[in-house]
C-alpha cells in the first residue's frame, strides 16, 4: 500500500511540473515509464535554470546600457543649456545692434520716410482705381507693379528704384489723359449667350464702352467686357452706332457720368421698366381692367366725335338750303313742317317737338357711357392702389421693412394703377366735354329752327 501511495504522489508531482513547464508542454512525446518521467522533469529544471541565468545577464546588460544613455542625456542637456546661454547673450547683443542700425537707418532715411508714406498712399489709391477703371480693358495688368512697389516702400530691407517711382507717376498721368480720350481698340466681348467674339470696341474716356452699337459692361476680375443683356431704350443705341462709325468730328452719344464709379446711372436707366412693362407686369388685374375700360371709352369717344362732326356739317349745310333734306336731323325736322303746312300752331308745335325728341337719342347716344367711364376710372385706380398696399403690408409682414426691394412690387402696383386710372379718366372727360358740346350745339340748332317755324306759322295765322 505504501509503495502504491508513493508512486501516486510521484505521478501527481510529475504531472504538475509537466503542466507548468513550457518546454514539456510543447513536447508531444509521452514518458514510457516512471524513470523516463523523472529524467524529463530533471532536464526541464536544468533548462529553466539556464534560461533564468540568461535573462538575468540580459537585464544587467540593459541596465548598464540605460545608465550609459542617462549619462549621455545628462551631458547633452548640460551642453544645450550652455548653448542656450550663449544664444541668449548673442541675441541680446544683436538686439542692441539691430536697434542701433534701425536708428541709423531712420536717421539716414530722413525725409524719404515721409515721402514713402505719401507714395504708398498714392500707389494704393492708384491700384484701386486701375483695377476698376474701364481704361484697364484696353491696358490690362498695368497696375501689377504697384503691389511690389508698396511692399518695397513698407520694407526695412528694400528700397524702391527711381524707375519704379517714375512709373507710378507715369501711370497716374496716363490714367488722367486716357480718361479724356475717345479711342477704338480690338478686344474680346462676351455675348449674352456666353459666346466670345473679337470685335472693335469704342472707349469713351473712363465712362462707357460700346461695340457694334451696344453698350458693354466691364468686369475687373479678368479684365472682361460683357455685352449688356438689356440695352438702354430710345436713340442711345443709334447714337452709339454712329459714334463707332465716325472717323472724326463731334458725335452726340449717351454718356453715363457715373461710369468711373460703377455706372449706377446706366444700370438704373436700363432697369427702369417701360410703360408697357409697367402696365403688363405691375398693373395686375386691376390695370388690365382699367385699360379695357379706357380702350372702350376711347372707341366710343372717337365714334361719337366723328358722328357728331358729320351731323354738324350736314346741319350747317341744311341751314344754307331752303329745301329740307332728310339725311340730317334738321332736315327731318323741317320735313315735318313742310308736310304739315295747314295745321294749327299748337299741333305744329307738338309735331316739331316730337321730331326733335326723336333726334335727341341718336345725338346724345354714348355721352352717358363716357361720363360713367370718366368717373369710374379713378375709382378703379384707387382700387388698384388699395390692393397694392395690401401686397406691400404682406411683404412687410413676411420679410420685414429692412429691404425696400421686397416692398417695391406692391408699391409699384399701387402707384401704377392710380396713374392708369387718371390717364383714362382725364382724356375721357375731355372727350366727353367736346362730344357733349357738339351734341348740344346740334340740339340747340334743332330747337331754334323748330321755334322759328312755329313763330312763322303763328304770324301767318
Alpha-carbon distance of 131 to 136, in angstroms, equals 7
**What is the per-residue pLDDT across 186-238, written as a single tens digit (0 to 9) for each?**
989 999 888 888 999 999 888 889 898 888 888 888 888 988 888 887 678 88
Q: Does 153 share its domain with 294?
A: no
Which pLDDT value is given to residue 231? 82
The proportion of the chain whose per-residue pLDDT surpasses 70, expressed as a percent, equals: 82
Which pLDDT value is given to residue 297? 92
More confident site: 29 or 212: 212
Which pLDDT value is given to residue 274? 67
Q: Does 316 share its domain with 428?
A: yes
Q: Give a yes or no: residue 432 inside a domain.
A: yes
Q: Does 237 share its domain with 308?
A: no
CB 105 within 8 A of CB 156: yes
pLDDT bracket for residue 84 (50, 70, 90): very high
Q: Does 211 share its domain with 237?
A: yes
Per-position b or e across 338-352, b if 16+ CB within 10 A of its CB:
eeeeeeeeeebbebb
pLDDT bracket for residue 22 (50, 70, 90): very low
- For residues 279-304, give the mean pLDDT: 84
**What is the per-residue pLDDT across 442-458, written as a single tens digit (0 to 9) for each?**
889 888 888 888 888 77
* pLDDT exceeds 50 at position 171: yes
**What is the per-residue pLDDT across 237-291, written as a single tens digit (0 to 9) for each?**
888 888 888 887 888 888 888 877 767 777 777 766 666 666 666 667 788 888 8
Q: Give a yes or no: residue 97 inside a domain.
A: no
Which pLDDT value is given to residue 109? 66
Q: Identify any residues that bridge with 219 across adjacent strands, giving them in sequence order.
A: 224
Q: How long is the chain?
A: 461
Looking at 79, 97, 126, the residue that finishes a domain is: 79
Q: Domain range for residue 448?
A: 282-460
107 half-sphere exposure, CB direction, 13 A CA radius: 6
Whether the model pTM is above 0.85: no
Which pLDDT value is given to residue 386? 83
Q: Does 398 share its domain with 289?
A: yes
Mean pLDDT score across all residues of the chain: 80
Q: Give a yes or no: residue 271 inside a domain.
A: no
- The CA dihedral of 312, 315, 319, 320, to the nearest 10 degrees, is 80
pLDDT bracket for residue 26 (50, 70, 90): very low
Classify residue 75 as exposed, middle or buried by CB count within 10 Å of its CB (0-12, 13-18, 19+). Answer: exposed
Q: Which helix (H) or strand (E) holds 376?
A: helix 367-399
* pLDDT exceeds 60 at position 65: yes
DSSP string of 110-159?
Answer: THHHHHHHHHHHHHHHHHHHHHH-GGGGTSTTTTTHHHHHHHHHT-SS--
**What is the per-residue pLDDT across 330-388, written as a single tens digit (0 to 9) for each?**
888 888 888 887 777 788 888 888 888 888 888 888 889 999 999 999 898 888 888 87
Looking at 179, 208, 225, the residue that finishes a domain is: 179
Number of separate domains in the chain: 4
For residue 51, count other CB atoms closer than 10 A to its CB. 12
Looking at 135, 151, 179, the residue that finishes a domain is: 179
Cell of 252: 452726340
Q: Does 196 share its domain with 307?
A: no
Q: Give a yes or no: residue 438 inside a domain.
A: yes
- For residues 174-181, give the mean pLDDT: 89
Q: Give a yes or no: residue 374 inside a domain.
A: yes
* pLDDT exceeds 50 at position 430: yes
Q: Does 175 share its domain with 188?
A: no
Nearest C-alpha neighbor of 201 from the set 182, 179, 229, 177: 182
What is the widest separation between alpha-carbon atoms in the chain?
A: 190
Residue 226 φ then ψ, to 5°: -120, 140
Least confident of 66-75, 203-212, 372-381, 404-413: 404-413
Amino acid at each position: 500500500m505504501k509503495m502504491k501511495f508513493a508512486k501516486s504522489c510521484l505521478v501527481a508531482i510529475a504531472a504538475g511540473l509537466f503542466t507548468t513547464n513550457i518546454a514539456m508542454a510543447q513536447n508531444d512525446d509521452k514518458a514510457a515509464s516512471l524513470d523516463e518521467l523523472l529524467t524529463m522533469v530533471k532536464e526541464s529544471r536544468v533548462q529553466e535554470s539556464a534560461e533564468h541565468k540568461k535573462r538575468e545577464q540580459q537585464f544587467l546588460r540593459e541596465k548598464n546600457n540605460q545608465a550609459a544613455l542617462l549619462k549621455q542625456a545628462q551631458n547633452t542637456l548640460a551642453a544645450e543649456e550652455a548653448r542656450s546661454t550663449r544664444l541668449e547673450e548673442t541675441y541680446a547683443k544683436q538686439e542692441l545692434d539691430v536697434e542701433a542700425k534701425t536708428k541709423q537707418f531712420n536717421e539716414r532715411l530722413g525725409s524719404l520716410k515721409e515721402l514713402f508714406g505719401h507714395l504708398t498712399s498714392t500707389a494704393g489709391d492708384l491700384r484701386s482705381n486701375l483695377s476698376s477703371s474701364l481704361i484697364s480693358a484696353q491696358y490690362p495688368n498695368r497696375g501689377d507693379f504697384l503691389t511690389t512697389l508698396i511692399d518695397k516702400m513698407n520694407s526695412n530691407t528694400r528700397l524702391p528704384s527711381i524707375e519704379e517711382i517714375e512709373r507710378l507717376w507715369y501711370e497716374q498721368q496716363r490714367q488722367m489723359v486716357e480718361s479724356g480720350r475717345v479711342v477704338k481698340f480690338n478686344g474680346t466681348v462676351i455675348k449674352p449667350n456666353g459666346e466670345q467674339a473679337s470685335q472693335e470696341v469704342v472707349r469713351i474716356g473712363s465712362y462707357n464702352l460700346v461695340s457694334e452699337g451696344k453698350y458693354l459692361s466691364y468686369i475687373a476680375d479678368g479684365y472682361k467686357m460683357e455685352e449688356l443683356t438689356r440695352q438702354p431704350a430710345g436713340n442711345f443705341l443709334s447714337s452709339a452706332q454712329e459714334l463707332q462709325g465716325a472717323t472724326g468730328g463731334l458725335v452726340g452719344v449717351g454718356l453715363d457720368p457715373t461710369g468711373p464709379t460703377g455706372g449706377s446711372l446706366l444700370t438704373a436707366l436700363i432697369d427702369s421698366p417701360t410703360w408697357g412693362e409697367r402696365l403688363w407686369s405691375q398693373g395686375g388685374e386691376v390695370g388690365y381692367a382699367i385699360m379695357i375700360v379706357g380702350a372702350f371709352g376711347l372707341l366710343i369717344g372717337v365714334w361719337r366725335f366723328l358722328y357728331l362732326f358729320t351731323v354738324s356739317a350736314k346741319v350747317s349745310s341744311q341751314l344754307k338750303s331752303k329745301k329740307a333734306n332728310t339725311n340730317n336731323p334738321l332736315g327731318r325736322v323741317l320735313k315735318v313742317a313742310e308736310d304739315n303746312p295747314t295745321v294749327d300752331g299748337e299741333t305744329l308745335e307738338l309735331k316739331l317737338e316730337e321730331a326733335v325728341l326723336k333726334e335727341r337719342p341718336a345725338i346724345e347716344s354714348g355721352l352717358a357711357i363716357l361720363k360713367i367711364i370718366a368717373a369710374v376710372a379713378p375709382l378703379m385706380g384707387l382700387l388698384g392702389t388699395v390692393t397694392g398696399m395690401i401686397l406691400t403690408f404682406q411683404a412687410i409682414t413676411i420679410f420685414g421693412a429692412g429691404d425696400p426691394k421686397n416692398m417695391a412690387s406692391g408699391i409699384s402696383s399701387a402707384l401704377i394703377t392710380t396713374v392708369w386710372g387718371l390717364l383714362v379718366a382725364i382724356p375721357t372727360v375731355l372727350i366727353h366735354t367736346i362730344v357733349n358740346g357738339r351734341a348740344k350745339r346740334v340740339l340747340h340748332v334743332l330747337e331754334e329752327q323748330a321755334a322759328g317755324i312755329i313763330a312763322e306759322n303763328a304770324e301767318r295765322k
